[in-house]
Amino acid sequence: MTYSKELHDRVRQNLRMFDYPRFDGGDIDDLLDEIDRLTAANKWVSVSEIKKTHSGNRVLIHMANDFVVIATYYKHDGGHFRNDNGSIVAFNDVIEYMNIPLPTPPTGGE
């Protein structure tokens, strides 16, 4: 089942119709609000919006050649990305990005 606004509204409405003793009044709303927040945070954003991203953030980038890679965004020099092997990815080669929390890559024997 795919999560959608319609499903979200239906769940919210149906759960209110019943008395669930295990849930406090706001629990369901809080859970559904968190789903909304996470859904909004995990969307592809046009690269033209990258100026809102902090320099040094690791992001997922969707490139014009349809590759998706993890890269670090740098604002200086007009903006560019550097992938984890150190190669620079030209700004105009990127279509969109996703600014999600990514783990730090392992070092050495990790």
CATH of the domain at 66: 2.30.30
- Looking at the domain assignment, is residue 20 inside a domain? yes
- Looking at the domain assignment, is residue 74 inside a domain? yes
Do 54 and 90 lie in one domain? The reply is yes
Question: Where do runs of H (alpha helix) occur along 1-110?
Answer: 5-16, 27-41
Do 26 and 50 lie in one domain? The reply is no
Q: What's the whole-model pTM score?
A: 0.59
Q: What is the pLDDT of residue 22?
A: 62
> Average of pLDDT values for 43-54?
79
φ and ψ at residue 5, rounded to 5 degrees: -60, -40
Do 37 and 53 lie in one domain? The reply is no
Q: What is the pLDDT of residue 41?
A: 73
Other CB atoms within 10 A of residue 97 CB:
23
Q: What is the pLDDT of residue 80?
A: 83
